[in-house]
């Protein structure tokens, strides 16, 4: 389960500025959308809930939380070798993903200011939080004598266009899975303080409440659009997005298994718990959730992950491009096959259980 791929030293853009990792299907994406369509969203079906969440965001409960207290002010040179590399990788991925959220929310806030001031205000608060999160992670990278040039990242990354409906599904899920990822690491550190090798993890408890509120905002937005949860097409889309988010999470966790092992977390148990909790939470937003108790569910997700590791090993080999291309076909087909089988597992209807606490 340990990442068997070679671990070279990080590449630098200039001294202490790390070159971003190459974009793959698993690196956090940068999104753009149809801003006019978002401005025109009719939220009247759920406006009270949306306004209540915006009030919470405005209260800014974490405004004094992201302070680098004395604990950070020391040398971190004793974090060395594979642990240092794996930690930098974790920080970079988290920072990029927070920064990607910041860019999308900031642009939404700016573009909606004139035509939809209410949603513009909400996105401004979300951007404020994500900027704090990304900045805090980047300063942690600087403690390890590396940081990301976020300005360079803004200009150099490819932006993926998603229609507003897809943005609502994926951002909702990424906020909720982000909440569970952070809170479970935090709980583990509280139970096993001997693994707390850097004070960042202490910050996760309040931090993840930001992600929870962001998720609640997107849930309220989603429920204001009946076409996103009230018809059969929505059920098919929800299945698709739940599955892709869970498959991506599984591949990422197993690709970075060594990092989780260095902080005493069992990658498989952690992955399964994050997915089960996120799936249960999303019953509050979606008309269906996936059946994670199906005997093949996690086995097939891990088959996707194993084939993904094979792809990474082929990519890193020194073989000619054509040979690499041919070698990649079987693992790609295997991933598609397992994803298809997962998609066909009968989901769980949540509308019948609406009102019960999940
Ligand atoms: Fe965040
Ligand atoms: Fe967030």
Residue 6: its pLDDT value, please?
38
Architecture of domain 13-287: Orthogonal Bundle (1.10)
What pLDDT does 157 receive? 87
Ligand 2 centroid vs 210 CA: distance in angstroms?
6
The HSE-up count of residue 135 (CA atoms within 13 Å, CB side) is 11
Give 330 Cα–ligand 1 centroid separation in angstroms.
36
* Mean pLDDT estimate for the chain: 92
The pLDDT, as a whole number, for residue 2 is: 32
Nearest CA-CA partner of 107 in 186, 5, 30, 43: 30
The domain limits of the chain are 13-287
Q: Is the per-residue pLDDT at 336 higher than 70? A: yes
pLDDT at 54: 98
The predicted structure's pLDDT at residue 153: 87
pLDDT tens digit sequence for 154-195: 998 889 999 999 999 999 999 999 999 999 999 999 999 999
Average pLDDT over residues 23-32: 78
CA separation for the pair 134, 54 (Å, rounded): 22
**Secondary structure of residue 17 in the 3-state scheme:** strand
Q: Which ligand is nearest to the CA of 105?
A: 2
* CA–centroid distance, residue 209 to ligand 2 (Å): 9
**β-bridge partners, 17:** 14, 147
Name which residue leads in pLDDT, 25 or 221.
221
Which residues have beta carbons under 5 A from ligand 2 (an ion)? 175, 211, 214
Render pLDDT for 90-139 as a digit per residue (tens, 0 to 9): 999 999 999 999 999 999 999 999 999 999 999 999 999 999 999 999 99
Q: How far does residue 200's CA lie from ligand 1's centre (Å)?
A: 14
pLDDT at 353: 59
Distances (CA, A) of 112 to 59, 62, 107, 224, 241: 21, 25, 8, 18, 26
> 230: CA distance to ligand 1 center in Å?
29
Going by the DSSP 8-state scheme, the letter that residue 19 receives in this structure is P
Distance 134 CA to ligand 1 centre (A): 7
On the question of pLDDT at 8 being above 80, the answer is: no
| Chain segment 222-272, per-residue pLDDT in tens | 999 999 999 999 999 999 999 999 999 999 999 999 999 999 999 999 999
């Amino acid at each position: 389960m340990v990442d068997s791929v070679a671990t070279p030293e990080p590449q630098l853009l200039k001294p202490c500025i790390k070159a971003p990792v190459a974009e793959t299907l698993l690196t956090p994406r940068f999104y753009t959308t149809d801003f006019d369509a978002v401005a025109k969203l009719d939220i009247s079906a759920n406006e009270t809930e949306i306004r209540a969440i915006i009030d919470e965001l405005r209260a800014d409960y974490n405004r004094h939380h992201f302070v680098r207290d004395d604990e950070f002010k020391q040398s971190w040179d004793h974090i060395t070798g594979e642990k240092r590399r794996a930690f930098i990788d974790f920080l970079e991925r988290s920072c990029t993903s927070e920064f990607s959220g910041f860019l999308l929310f900031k642009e939404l806030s700016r573009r909606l200011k004139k035509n939809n001031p209410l949603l513009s205000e909400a996105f401004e608060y979300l951007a404020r939080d994500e900027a704090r999160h990304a900045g805090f992670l980047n300063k942690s990278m600087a403690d390890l004598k590396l940081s990301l040039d976020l300005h360079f990242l803004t200009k150099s990354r490819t932006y993926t266009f998603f229609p507003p409906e897809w943005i609502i599904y994926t951002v909702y899920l990424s906020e909720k899975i982000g909440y569970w990822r952070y809170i479970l690491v935090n709980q583990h550190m509280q139970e096993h303080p001997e693994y707390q090798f850097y004070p960042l993890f202490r910050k996760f408890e309040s931090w993840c409440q930001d992600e929870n509120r962001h998720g609640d905002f997107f849930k309220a937005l989603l429920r204001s659009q009946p076409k996103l949860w009230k018809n059969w097409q929505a059920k098919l889309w929800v299945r698709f997005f739940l599955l892709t988010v869970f498959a991506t999470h599984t591949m990422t966790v197993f690709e970075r298994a060594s990092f989780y092992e260095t902080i005493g977390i069992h990658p498989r148990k952690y992955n399964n718990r994050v997915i089960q909790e996120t799936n249960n939470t999303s019953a509050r937003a979606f008309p269906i959730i996936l059946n994670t108790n199906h005997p093949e569910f996690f086995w097939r997700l891990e088959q996707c992950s194993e084939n993904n590791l094979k792809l990474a090993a082929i990519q890193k080999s020194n073989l000619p491009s054509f040979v690499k291309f041919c070698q990649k076909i079987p693992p790609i087909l295997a991933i598609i096959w397992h994803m298809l089988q997962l998609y066909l597992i009968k989901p769980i209807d949540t509308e019948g259980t609406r009102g019960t606490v999940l």
